[in-house]
Structure formats: structure tokens, C-alpha cells
């Protein structure tokens, strides 16, 4: 069995927003089993969550909510820009 680690690259904003979502799903509700019924997947979910928790100092800052909202806005804005760019290239 190959146990070589897989590296996933996220922007800081992506990691921050994902970390918050994982926390909400895993720690504040019983949603994980509803969203991910395959318990074999949980190992990876917990590994990702743990890595994000130990990597992101933002999650421990007093202005967490404001930083999270700013990260969400930047990601949504970037997503809209990517969609606009994609549509322009398709029509060429």
C-alpha cells in the first residue's frame, strides 16, 4: 500500500473558509454523517481539518468573524471574475 502523502494547495482564504465550514459540520452539529455517510472518508476529513487548525493563526484571532467574512467576499469576487473570464473566452 502506497502511503506517500498527497499535497493539496489552497489559498489562505480558501483554507480559512474551508476550516470554518469543517468546524461547523464536524463540531457544532451531527451533519458530518449526513454529508459524508462513508466513515472511511472521515479519516481524510479529520486530517484536513487538523492540518488547517494547526496552520491558520486566523482561527484564534479575536477578529475571527470579520476576517472570515472578508475571506468569503474575496473568494466570491474571485469566483465571479473567473466565471466572467471563462464566458469571454468561450465566446471568442
| pTM beyond cutoff 0.85 | no
Residues 16-66: pLDDT tens digits?
999 999 988 888 767 778 888 888 998 999 999 999 999 999 999 999 999
Instruction: Give the Cα separation of 22 and 3 in Å (integer).
Output: 24
Query: Which residue ranges make up each domain of the chain?
Result: 12-91
Using 50, 70 and 90 to split pLDDT, how confident is the model at 88? low
Which pLDDT belongs to residue 66?
Answer: 97
Instruction: Give the Cα separation of 82 and 92 in Å (integer).
Output: 16
Task: Tell me: pLDDT of 89 over 60.
Answer: no
Instruction: Give the Cα separation of 8 and 5 in Å (integer).
Output: 10
Which pLDDT belongs to residue 33?
Answer: 81
Amino acid at each position: 500500500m502506497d502511503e506517500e502523502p498527497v499535497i493539496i494547495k489552497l489559498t489562505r482564504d480558501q483554507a480559512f473558509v474551508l476550516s470554518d465550514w469543517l468546524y461547523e459540520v464536524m463540531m457544532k452539529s451531527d451533519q458530518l454523517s449526513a454529508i459524508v455517510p462513508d466513515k472511511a472518508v472521515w479519516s481524510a476529513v479529520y486530517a484536513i481539518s487538523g492540518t488547517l487548525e494547526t496552520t491558520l493563526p486566523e482561527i484564534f484571532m479575536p477578529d475571527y468573524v470579520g476576517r472570515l467574512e472578508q475571506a468569503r467576499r474575496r473568494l466570491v469576487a474571485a469566483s465571479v471574475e473567473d466565471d466572467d473570464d471563462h464566458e469571454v473566452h468561450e465566446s471568442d
